[in-house]
Amino acid sequence: MNPPRPLSLIFHLSSFFFLLFILTSCTSSSQASSNSPALYIENKGSDTIVNLALAWAERYQAEHPDVRISVTGGGSGTGLASLINGSADIANASRKIKPEEAAEAQKNGIQPVEHVIARDAIAVIVNPENPVGELTLQQVSDIYSGKINNWQELGGEDRPIVRLSRETNSGTHIYFLETVLRLGEKDNQTLFSMDTLLLPSSEGIVAEVRDNPNAIGYDGLGYVPKDLKVIAIARAADGPYVLPSAATVNDKTYPIARDLYMYTAGEPTGVLAAYLDWIFSPEAQEIVLQLGFVPIK
Amino acid sequence: MEKSLNWREYLITRLIRISGYSAIVFVAAIFFFILKEGLPALTEVKLSDLFAVRWYPIEDYFGLLPLVTGSLIITVGAMLIAFPFGIATAVFIAEIAPRWVREILKPLVELLAGLPSVVLGFLGILVLAPNLRRLLDLPTGLTALAGSILLGGIAVPTIVSIAEDALDAVPRSYREGAWALGATRWQTIWRVTLPAARSGVITAVMLGIGRAIGETMTVMMVTGNAPVLAVKLGSILSPVRTMTATIAAEMGEVASGSVHYHVLFFIGIVLFLISLVVNVAASSVVFRARKRAERILS
C-alpha cells in the first residue's frame, strides 16, 4: 500500500500555514504592545448619533494613533446615565439632559456640560409631479395618522395618499412620531395609520417617492436627492412655510429639526478638549454632512 | 492490514451515524431555543392582545393577525403562480423537449434558483412595483401581489428541479405501455407519468411552499410592510407585512429579553408550526398514495 500522496501534501501545507499563523500573530502582538494607546475616550449614547460618532472616532484615531476612542450606542438615556456614574467620558444625546438627570449628576459631583455637535432635520418629500408644496405640521400629522386620505383635501389632485415611513426601529421614525404626528405634545397618543408603508431603508422611500405621484415620505435632510420635491413646512396655518436647508435648520425656523448633543463631565480638558475642538473643525463637520445631518456652521 | 481496515470501517460508520443524528440534534436544539425564547411571550402579553389586529411594537401593540394573514396571502398567491408554471416547465423539460433543449434548460433553471433574493427585491422595487401600479391603477405597487409574483419566481426553480427529477425517474416501460395501448402523448403525461411521479411532485410543491413562506429579503423590499389585516380578496392588491419581514426588520434593534424580543421569537414558533403542518400534510399524502399503490400491486 502506497502512502497517500495528497494527504502528505495537505499535511505539509497545513504545517506551513500553522507556522505562518504563529509568526504573524507574534509580530502583530509585539506591534500592539509597542503602540499601545495611552489616551482612552469612552463615548456612549444615542443610537441616532452612533454612526456619526463612529465615523468621527475612526477618522480621529487615524490621525492620532495614540488616542483610542470606544463608541457604543444604547440610547441617549443610557449614555447620560453612564456619564453620571462615571463610566463614560462623553455622552451622546439626541435630546437635552433632563432636570432629574442633571440633579443626579450634581449629586455625584459631576457638572454636565452641553455641546451642540450637529443638527438633525427631517425633510418631507413628495413626487415632483405633485402640485402640493406647502403643508402645516398639523396637516402632515393628519396625513400620517389617517385623517387625510386624498391629496384633493390639501389642494392637490384627486389621488389617494400613500404614506411611507421608516421602520419602527429607526430613530428617525420615533423622532417623526414624537415631533410631527404627536406635534411634540407629551400626552398625545396619535399613532401612524395602520396602512402606512414601513420601508426598511432610505433608498426604498426615495425609490417609491420618485416613481409614485401618490406617495409622501420623510427622511433625514442629507439623504434626500435633488430630483424629489421637498415640502415647505409651517408651524401654524398662518405662519411662514419654510423649506429645510442648512440655513433654516441653524436659525431654527424649520420646525422638524433638532440639535444633537455631546455631554462631558465638567469643561473638557486634555485629550477630551482636543477631540471636541476637532469635532467643530471643518473636516469633522464635513463628515456630518456626509452622514445626512446638518453641520452647525 | 485486515485489522486496520476493520478499524477504519468502524470509524467511518460511526462518523456517518453521528452526522445523521446531528441533523436531528440541531433541529431539536433550534426548536428548544425558539421555545425557550418565545414562550414567555404568552405570559407577558395577553392572548387576546396577541390575536389583535394592530402591530406597533414600540407602543406595545403586539397583534399578530396582520402578520400571519400577510404571510399566508403572499404564500397562497405565490403558489397559485408557481404551481402551474413549475409543473408545466418540469413536464416540458422531462417529457416533451428534445434532448439538446433539455440539456440547456435544466442547468438554466437551476441557475435561476441560485439568484440572490436581494437582487430580485431590487428588480421588484425598480421594475415590477412601478409597472404593477400603472397597469392596475393602484395607489402603490408595493403590494402583496408584487411579493407573490417574486416569490412565485423564487419557488419555480425549486419545483421544476425536483419535479423534473421525479418525472425522469418514472420507468420508460410505463410510457411505452401507455403508448402501446394507444394513448396520446398528452394522455400519457396526464394519466400515467404524472400520477406515477406523484410523491416527488408533491414534495416539490411542498418545498416550494417552504421556500416561499420562509423568504424574507424580497418580501421585505416589495410588499410595503404595512401591518394591515389581509382577509379580503382585495388584500392581494394592498400592502401587507409578513412574519419573516417583521422578524428581520425588528430583531436587530430589540433589547434582548424584552417583551418585544419574546414576541418576535413567538412569531418564529408560529412559522415553525406552519412549516411543520405543511410537511406533515405532505408526507401523509405521499404515504397514503404509496400504501394504495402497494395494495394494488400486491
Q: How far is A132 from chain B (nearest CA, A)?
A: 17
Q: What is the mean pLDDT of residues A102-111?
A: 90
Q: What is the mean pLDDT of residues A14-43?
A: 54
Strands (E) in chain A, as ranges, are 39-45, 67-72, 90-93, 112-126, 134-136, 162-166, 197-199, 215-220, 229-230, 232-234, 257-265
**Cβ B139–A162 below 8 Å, yes or no?**
yes
Residues of chain A positioned with their CB less than 8 A from the CB of B139: 159-162, 214
**Cβ A169–B250 below 8 Å, yes or no?**
yes
Q: Give percent of chain B with pLDDT exceeding 90.
A: 59
What pLDDT is recorded for position A297? Answer: 73
Which ipTM score applies to this complex?
0.82
Check: CB of residue B158 under 8 Å from CB of residue B208.
yes
**What average pLDDT does the structure give for chain A?**
85
What pLDDT is recorded for position B150? Answer: 94
| Cα–Cα dist A171/A199, whole Å | 14
Residues of chain B positioned with their CB less than 8 A from the CB of A47: 253
**Cβ A197–B129 below 8 Å, yes or no?**
no
Q: What is the mean pLDDT of residues A70-94?
A: 88
Question: pLDDT confidence of A144, banded at 50, 70, 90?
Answer: very high
Q: How far is B248 from chain A (nearest CA, A)?
A: 10
Question: pLDDT confidence of A125, banded at 50, 70, 90?
Answer: very high
Residues of chain B positioned with their CB less than 8 A from the CB of A168: 56-58, 250
**Cβ B142–A198 below 8 Å, yes or no?**
no
**Among chain A residues, CA nearest to B66:** A194
Q: What is the mean pLDDT of residues B237-266?
A: 89
**Cβ B133–A191 below 8 Å, yes or no?**
no
Best residue of B253, B254, B258 to probe chain A, by most A CBs closer than 10 Å: B253
Q: What is the mean pLDDT of residues B201-208?
A: 89
| Burial class (CB within 10 angstroms; exposed 0-12, middle 13-18, buried 19+) of A68 | middle
Residue with the larger pLDDT of the pair B298 and B7? B7
What pLDDT is recorded for position A26? Answer: 43
Residues of chain B positioned with their CB less than 8 A from the CB of A200: 220-221, 225, 249
Give CA torsion, residues A138, A144, A148, A154, to 10 deg: 60
| Cα–Cα dist B163/B85, whole Å | 12
Interface of A with B in 51-80 (CB under 8 A): none
Residues of chain B positioned with their CB less than 8 A from the CB of A167: 225, 249-250
The CA-atom distances, in angstroms, between B178 and each of A3, B182, B188, B199 are 56, 7, 6, 20
**Cβ B56–A198 below 8 Å, yes or no?**
no
On the question of pLDDT at A229 being above 70, the answer is yes
The CA-atom distances, in angstroms, between A274 and each of A114, A268, A279 are 16, 9, 9
Closest by CA to B34, choosing from B272, B276, B274, B278, is B272
**Cβ B225–A195 below 8 Å, yes or no?**
no
Which of A42-51, B16-25, B80-89 comes out lowest in average pLDDT? A42-51
| Cα–Cα dist B70/B75, whole Å | 9
The CA-atom distances, in angstroms, between B298 and each of A86, A91, B293 are 82, 80, 9
Closest by CA to A106, choosing from A83, A125, A89, A122, is A83
DSSP string, chain B: -HHHHHHHHHHHHHHHHHHHHHHHHHHHHHHHHHHHHHTHHHHHS-HHHHTSS-EEGGGTEE--HHHHHHHHHHHHHHHHHHHHHHHHHHHIIIIIS-HHHHHHHHHHHHHHHTS-HHHHHHHIIIIIHHHHHHHHT-S-S-SHHHHHHHHHHHHHHHHHHHHHHHHHTS-HHHHHHHHHTT--HHHIIIIIIHHHTHHHHHHHHHHHHHHHHH--HHHHHHSBT------SGGGGGS-B--HHHHHHHHHTTSPTTSHHHHHHHHHHHHHHHHHHHHHHHHHHHHHHHHHHHHHHH-
Q: Give percent of chain A with pLDDT exceeding 90.
A: 52
Best residue of A46, A163, A168 to probe chain B, by most B CBs closer than 10 Å: A168
On the question of pLDDT at A130 being above 50, the answer is yes
Q: Return the amino acid letter for A14.
A: S
- Which is it for strands A67-72 and A39-45: parallel, antiparallel or unpaired? parallel
What pLDDT is recorded for position A186? Answer: 84
DSSP state at residue A168: T
**Cβ B252–A191 below 8 Å, yes or no?**
no
| Cα–Cα dist B275/B27, whole Å | 13
What pLDDT is recorded for position B3? Answer: 64
**Dihedral sign from CA coordinates of A233, A235, A241, A243:** negative
**Among chain B residues, CA nearest to A160:** B139
On the question of pLDDT at B69 being above 70, the answer is yes
| Cα–Cα dist A20/A15, whole Å | 9
C-alpha cell read off for B18:
453521528
C-alpha cell read off for B73:
396571502
Element (H, E) at A285: helix A282-290
The neighbouring-strand residues paired with A41 are A69
- Helix, strand, or coil here: A181? helix
Quickly count: other Cβ atoms within 10 Å of residue B159's Cβ.
29
Interface of B with A (CB under 8 A): 1, 54, 56-59, 66, 125-126, 129-130, 133, 139-142, 220-221, 224-228, 238-239, 241, 249-250, 252-254
Opening angle at CA B240, ends B49 and B157, nearest 5: 125
Interface of A with B in 171-200 (CB under 8 A): 174, 191-192, 194-200
- Helix, strand, or coil here: A125? strand
**Dihedral sign from CA coordinates of B141, B144, B145, B149:** positive
Q: How far is A212 from chain B (nearest CA, A)?
A: 7
